[in-house]
Amino acid sequence: MKRETNYMRILQTTVLAVLFSLTLSAQTMKAPSGGKKISKELIGIFFEDISYSADGGLYAELIQNGSFEYNQTERNEWHSGACWRMVRHGHSTGYIETRTDQPLNDHTPHYMRLVAETVGHYSDFRGWTGVGIQNEGFDGIVLKAGARYDLSLFLRDADKKAKQVRIALVGERNKVIAETTITTQGGSWKKYEQTLTASEDSDNAQLAVILLDNGTLDIDMVSLMPQDTYKGHGLRSDLAQALEDLQPKFVRFPGGCIVHGGGDGFWDTYRWKNTIGPKEERIGLKNCWGYHQSFGLGYYEYFQFCEDIGAQPLPILPVGVSCQGAGGSWGLKEQAQTAVPMSEMDEWVDEALDLIEWANGDASTPWGRKRAEQGHPAPFNLKYLGLGNEEKITPEFEERFKYIYDRVTAKYPDIIIVGTAGPGSHKGNRDYEAGWKFADQIDLPIIDEHYYEKREYFYDNQHNYDNYPRESKTKVYLGEYAAKDKKLTDALAEALYLLGVERNGDVVVMTSYAPLFAKKNHTSWNPDLIYFDNKNVILTCSYYVQQLFGATAGDYYYGDVAKMADDKLQGTSCVLNTEKAELYIKLCNASDDSKPATINLSKFKKLPKQAQMTTLKGNMEDENNFDQQPIKPQTSAIDITKKMTIDVAPHSFNVIRIKL
């Protein structure tokens, strides 16, 4: 009994100590007076499947056109067998053909039929025999010695005879790097799965599927995935890690122009329901940037990735109005925006309502059950929903947007809706003015502004948001922006502009640089934040600016702590993160000379003697590319006093991180 009493006393003492510690912690995180409350979600990322960002990029699938659904509407030279070639070994004879009768399912209507008429009795110089097909991947398949790769494919014995099928990863001159043999079973579609281990490195391997017996074999949904993916969730590890390292507070997806079909009209509008469920049942679609979307990276994977990196998902849905560039009318006086009849708008309303239920509903709801069946019983806790993407603000757009907006907010009042300010979101622009007027009329929570400008714009307009009305219920999401080059001078222009955005973090609540990714030799837009090929990831100067801002997000802004000369080439910011009890002082100097910055920390108690200072600097014309990467941030210790003056290096962006 005495032992129990002592135990209870120890437990009580421990609990009191913890509570006291938490109380002290809460007191130390209280923001000093003089600060302005700002958004904690200021820095996010915007993912659009442009420049092969998804298939061949972030989505780790190594086989291109594994579903045999490529076609001429996507690219003139494409057909169902694109990226595959027929191979015959050891004097074997036969042929291949793509077919649509009795497909795997209605969503993937094409498949490949492989007919081996005579399998040769003599093997070739590599010991091969048989008739088959070989896939080139996305600019070749990169293999790492010792790495394991998960193969899956659907096969059917069209002649109902079991067969031996050789699956091999081959390098130069058909050198085998990994292989396995499958014995088919029966005359109906069946999924086969194997794991292949690479015996050596290869930068340009291919996957071969070889029929070793005479007969007819149907093939569909060929997949090869490295086991080493980001958190085991099917994304390319190095690219996903680069995004996590940005510490984004939200991820906007899937676009961009692909949301409403780009220039092709409604038929290739992105429909999220086609991108969930088993991979073999997802409905692939033309990408408006000129290639194919397999949707192996679909809404489930987007939401899962947001959860993995601790970011809010911000899905964007179409609103029944096409891109005004439909039919190639971009730049014309009369653009070809079209709208679905109002009698059909309930389908687009359901698109939004069902998405919210899929993301947030429990497993007892129809759409929540679909999410749970895919492997995520718990809700994703969707907070934001975007409607539309830079559509021209016409009466047709306003009518359809409001139709969806009213019904979504009536059923889900806690969902924060993000609208659009139209294309070219600058004061004086007709769509910008109409978009803001419409936003005020309907009390839109957040409006999405987009603009891409030369570096001079960002240097000259750092006070852009200073005079935005504080009384408006509508806040700003700067959803797409970038200086039009990727040199250090462009990144510093963006840094100075972001200092002004941070100063106005009570009005601008979210920002995201765009575009995010671009694959080497497949780039549709320049500049981009991250460039890559099958082996390398190139982080631009702008990437490091975004990373420094993402890592130093706060909830209070102090305009009187750090000062530099009133010059468009210099700027400061001071942000407090009360949750982390950290203070961030940001200093940018885009001039050619060192400049003084005065810092007054008198309002902050119990300052440490030292802090960390991270500096991004170099020559203004420097840029990171596949040949060289001269610009990377460097971190060092800096002494801290209540009042101090430091020299800010020329051509530099600096962040001082102080633990309070």
Any idea which residues carry the catalytic annotation? 390
- If residue 453 lies in a helix (H) or strand (E), which one and from where to where? strand 446-453
Complete DSSP assignment for 612-628 = EEEEEE--TT----SS-
The first and second tokens of residue 462, run together, are 């750092």
Q: From CA 199, how far away is CA 180, in angstroms rounded?
A: 13
Q: From CA 436, how far away is CA 424, in angstroms rounded?
A: 13
Q: From CA 129, how far away is CA 211, in angstroms rounded?
A: 9
Helices (H), 313-394: 345-360, 366-373
> Considering only CA atoms, which of 402, 568, 580 is closest in space to residue 489?
568
- Do residues 589 and 652 lie in contact, with contact meaning Cβ atoms separated by under 8 Å? yes
Q: From CA 458, how far away is CA 478, in angstroms rounded?
A: 13
271 vs 304, 318, 329, 345, 635, CA distance in Å? 18, 8, 23, 14, 45
Q: From CA 194, how far away is CA 208, in angstroms rounded?
A: 14
Omega before 515 within 30 of 0, i.e. cis: yes
DSSP state of 592: S
- Do residues 480 and 423 lie in contact, with contact meaning Cβ atoms separated by under 8 Å? no
The rounded Cα 598 to chain-centroid distance in angstroms is: 39
Q: From CA 44, how far away is CA 243, in angstroms rounded?
A: 10
SS3 per-residue string spanning 12-58: HHHHHHHHHHHHHHHHHCCCCCCCEECCCCCECEECCCCCCCCECCC
